Amino acid sequence: MLATIRPDDWNFPLLLHVLGAMLLVGALTAAVTALLLGWRRDAAPYTRFAFRTLLFIGLPAFVLMRFGGEWTYVRENLDEQPDKVWVGIGFITSDLGALVLLISLLVTGIGARRLGRSGASQSRLTRVGAVLTALMLAGYIVAVWAMSAKPD
Partner 1 sequence: MTFSDWLLFLHVASAFALVSALVIYWSIAVAGRNVERPVDSLRYFRVAKPANVLIIVGTMGTLIFGIWLAIDFEAYQVWDGWILAAIVLWAISAGTGQRGGKVYAEAQKLAERLVAESRGAEPNPELRALLTNRNAMWLNIASSLAVFLILVDMIYKPGV
Q: Does 14 bind partner 1 (CB under 8 A)?
A: yes
- Tell me the angle at which helices 11-37 and 59-75 cross, rounded to the nearest 10 degrees: 150
- Least Cβ distance, residue 68 to partner 1 (angstroms): 11
Q: Does 60 bind partner 1 (CB under 8 A)?
A: no
Q: Does 7 bind partner 1 (CB under 8 A)?
A: no
Give the integer Cα–Cα distance in Å for 145 and 133: 18
With CB under 8 A as the contact rule, the residue among 37, 43, 89, 136 that binds partner 1 is: 37
- Least Cβ distance, residue 81 to partner 1 (angstroms): 20
φ and ψ of 146, to 5 deg = -65, -40
| 45 half-sphere exposure, CB direction, 13 A CA radius | 3
Per-residue contact flags (x/-) with partner 1 for residues 39 to 58, judged by CB under 8 A: ---x--xx--x--xx---x-
